[in-house]
Chain A
Amino acid sequence: DAGVIQSPRHEVTEMGQEVTLRCKPISGHNSLFWYRQTMMRGLELLIYFNNNVPIDDSGMPEDRFSAKMPNASFSTLKIQPSEPRDSAVYFCASSGTGNNQPQHFGDGTRLSIL
């Protein structure tokens, strides 16, 4: 059974460039989450979707960040324009419906903005 699939695994790009991170949740999971992890701030929830609808994006740091979920099997997190302080590991996770459902994480995307 495939887990959460993220791409790319690593991305190195220059500041000012657009970055798009991709996520395929586990089939049948209704909720999808985007996180950012840094040494200083730990794992932070950026935005989450239920049934493809964004529920709360208050964790998104700035307008440069946007996320979409056009269908149940695909989501993107976009940063435009990127800045060096956006360098982090970005995780996508999915879960079934309900607060008691645990989240399953993808392998993450290691993003470095030069």
Chain B
Amino acid sequence: RKEVEQDPGPFNVPEGATVAFNCTYSNSASQSFFWYRQDCRKEPKLLMSVYSSGNEDGRFTAQLNRASQYISLLIRDSKLSDSATYLCVVNMGSWIIFGKGTRLHILP
């Protein structure tokens, strides 16, 4: 099965800054995409779905680039509570692959 790749980080970012990370996927037949957030020793939780036209939820913006086969997540005005691991998810219809996650540390 094709892979989903993420920069593992960690990204150390000062509070209030903007941070962005990408996730690349290799299967062009991938159908749907999501960003999940996972806190230490907790379960993954849905952050947002990623739509073809791009979508925004408060300080979070997700983008999909099918031509280059990547999705991105942008966090504006970062908060200490944004510190977590961010997992991208690719649903290929017949299988689901999670990226290994990008660790984000927001520094006070």
Interface residues, chain A, with chain B CB atoms under 8 Å away: 33, 35, 42-45, 48, 56, 91, 99-100, 102-108
Contacts and interface: CB of A to CB of B under 8 A. Distances in A.
Nearest to B48: A102
B75 to A, nearest CB: 19
Given A43-B87, A99-B31, A91 B44 contact: yes
A108 B96 CA distance: 18
Given A43-B87, A99-B32, A102-B49, A56 B95 contact: yes
A44 B100 CA distance: 9
Contacts of A99: 31-32, 91, 93
Interface in B72-108: 87, 91, 93-101
A106 B43 CA distance: 7
- Which of under 10, 10 to 19, 20 to 34, or 35 or more describes the interface residues of B? 20 to 34
A42 B45 contact: no
Contact of B96 (A45, A106, A107): A45
B34 interface: yes
A1 to B, nearest CB: 15
Given A99-B32, A99-B91, A102-B34, A45 B97 contact: yes
21 contacts: A35-B98, A42-B99, A42-B100, A42-B101, A43-B44, A43-B98, A45-B95, A45-B96, A45-B97, A48-B96, A56-B94, A99-B93, A100-B31, A102-B49, A103-B46, A103-B96, A104-B46, A105-B43, A106-B43, A107-B42, A108-B43
